[in-house]
Chain A
């Protein structure tokens, strides 16, 4: 008879790239139950947004996530623009979409590397991250930043596509298209790698619908869920994308769906550059919003549906900002799929959803008693040392 053990993984663990805590109960090597605890990167962003102005919040929201920062900022900007009744100029909408797709490339290549690393395929990890640098260089030339590009302002964007940048983006996309074809070939033919992905963590179409999963994870289980298609925003109404689907629902399908949808992204980027209209980058944005209101704005982030709820009582601040990132609904599927799987596959099943913990975790300030307690860096450091000594 095998004994039942609970294996804690995290918050700090070599298989995790960001902090989270999983408790897997195992019988032998088989996982019999799983639970998750998040919050290790919780920073109080939703609460902090309530006491700041819309303009300050735009910068704050960009910092919800370090990987998909642009989609957070542009989703928030769309919400505030809707509350103010402001329409963004066409050229600005196109540039927002263009940067969102550039961000998708860097995010998917980053994920490819991380997931390959989890599978023990270090060469793929190194090559995909080398190629990702192409897109990081483009983003830096375009915006001045590798991360937190800060493209948006309320009412438009602040960076423009020059002829020089146009050439650089096209060259990068041509190069990456060739590389992506190679990676697609590798993940579908490497026999050792396929042992880690084929038939592992299978989620049926019915399960994907029932659990409400989003993004590439849903599409790899045959669910045509993509906000760019279902509720087109920015330039997606005029420049539609084709949904990439796979019915297999296993880890291998999650690799092929993410890589295949990069080709759609490359095609879309070229189309956007070919058709970029002349015109203003910004429009006047009022300092104060006249009336109370609440809006829901959804976008397709690299990991799936990003959901923002913003409410204001009028004025220059929101009274509530709710952010539901794609990792949260997808995390539930990890807990379900891990049950019955081999323990060694659990980190790969987790990697399959492309989890982003800092996206999930948003609020934290400690107040004990009635007194405000401000700690110096040294006091915090000492506290940390004592906690871990105990």
Chain B
């Protein structure tokens, strides 16, 4: 099966010019990413806080096209699997995701802080909506 066939089988919806999206269950994230890794590169991981749920967006790019995988998470215990085995540079993005949104990333190689200072409180995640920026 070629990459094009495998992509064709994914339930992608076109949301904008050159933009495709699909919701992904936590358990399918790594296998879907594996397919997409034959097609493009992981450009960014975006965290979103909707209040009652968190969402993690994985943006995979190839030429002008961006495919976004959307994973919904429970804000009380948000956990995803690391994409490091699929995209080696994912580790850096995951460090940012962990400290900014408090998302647990299973199996990521480096769990140390990337951006926040050493004495930043362990249970405070600055890009969650409840964190004040005053």
In chain B between 98 and 121, which residues have their CB closer than 8 angstroms to a CB of chain A?
100, 110, 112-117, 120-121
A37 touches B114 (CB 8 A): yes
In the assembled complex, A66 has its CB within 8 A of some CB on chain B: no
In the assembled complex, B134 has its CB within 8 A of some CB on chain A: yes
A329 touches B89 (CB 8 A): yes
Chain A: interface size category: 35 or more
B115 touches A47 (CB 8 A): no
A309 touches B127 (CB 8 A): no
Count of residues in B whose CB is under 8 Å from the partner chain: 40
The closest CB in chain B to the CB of A361 belongs to B115
Chain A residues with Cβ under 8 A from B127's Cβ?
46-47, 363
In the assembled complex, B72 has its CB within 8 A of some CB on chain A: no
In the assembled complex, A298 has its CB within 8 A of some CB on chain B: yes
Binary A-proximity of B29-58 (CB < 8 A = 1, otherwise 0): 000000000000111101110000000010
Assuming the contacts A47-B131, A328-B93, asked whether A38 and B115 have C-beta atoms less than 8 A apart, the reply is yes
Chain B residues with Cβ under 8 A from A367's Cβ?
124, 131-132
B115 touches A212 (CB 8 A): no
B46 touches A322 (CB 8 A): yes
In the assembled complex, B79 has its CB within 8 A of some CB on chain A: no
Chain A residues with Cβ under 8 A from B87's Cβ?
212
Bound Cα distance from A367 to B131, whole angstroms? 9
Chain B residues with Cβ under 8 A from A361's Cβ?
115
Bound Cα distance from A261 to B47, whole angstroms? 35
Chain A residues with Cβ under 8 A from B93's Cβ?
324, 328
Bound Cα distance from A101 to B55, whole angstroms? 36
The closest CB in chain B to the CB of A369 belongs to B121
The closest CB in chain B to the CB of A49 belongs to B133
Bound Cα distance from A372 to B110, whole angstroms? 32
How near does chain A come to B72, taking the closest CB pair, in angstroms?
15
In the assembled complex, B3 has its CB within 8 A of some CB on chain A: no
In the assembled complex, B126 has its CB within 8 A of some CB on chain A: yes
In the assembled complex, A332 has its CB within 8 A of some CB on chain B: yes
B115 touches A309 (CB 8 A): no
Secondary structure of the A contact surface, majority rule:
mixed
A47 touches B126 (CB 8 A): yes
Bound Cα distance from A337 to B91, whole angstroms? 16
In the assembled complex, A285 has its CB within 8 A of some CB on chain B: no
A320 touches B46 (CB 8 A): yes
B133 touches A44 (CB 8 A): yes
Assuming the contacts A296-B19, A307-B43, asked whether A35 and B110 have C-beta atoms less than 8 A apart, the reply is yes
A210 touches B46 (CB 8 A): no
In the assembled complex, B18 has its CB within 8 A of some CB on chain A: yes
B59 touches A230 (CB 8 A): no
Bound Cα distance from A305 to B62, whole angstroms? 12
A309 touches B44 (CB 8 A): yes
How near does chain B come to A75, taking the closest CB pair, in angstroms?
13
Taking A209-B41, A296-B66, A365-B134 as given, write out 20 further A-B residue pairs in contact, using a Cβ cutoff of 8 Å, ordered by the A residue number: A38-B115, A47-B127, A47-B131, A51-B133, A212-B43, A212-B89, A231-B18, A298-B43, A320-B46, A320-B48, A322-B47, A324-B93, A360-B115, A361-B115, A363-B127, A364-B116, A364-B117, A365-B126, A367-B124, A372-B132
Measuring CB to CB, which residues of chain B are less than 8 angstroms from any residue of chain A?
A: 16, 18-19, 41-44, 46-48, 57, 59, 61, 63-64, 66, 68, 87-89, 91-93, 100, 110, 112-117, 120-121, 124, 126-127, 131-134
A to B CB contacts below 8 Å, 13 in the list: A37-B112, A37-B114, A38-B115, A47-B127, A47-B131, A211-B89, A322-B46, A332-B88, A360-B115, A366-B117, A367-B124, A367-B132, A372-B132
Interface pairs A-B: 7 shortest CB-CB:
A39-B115, A231-B64, A212-B41, A324-B44, A332-B89, A322-B46, A230-B63
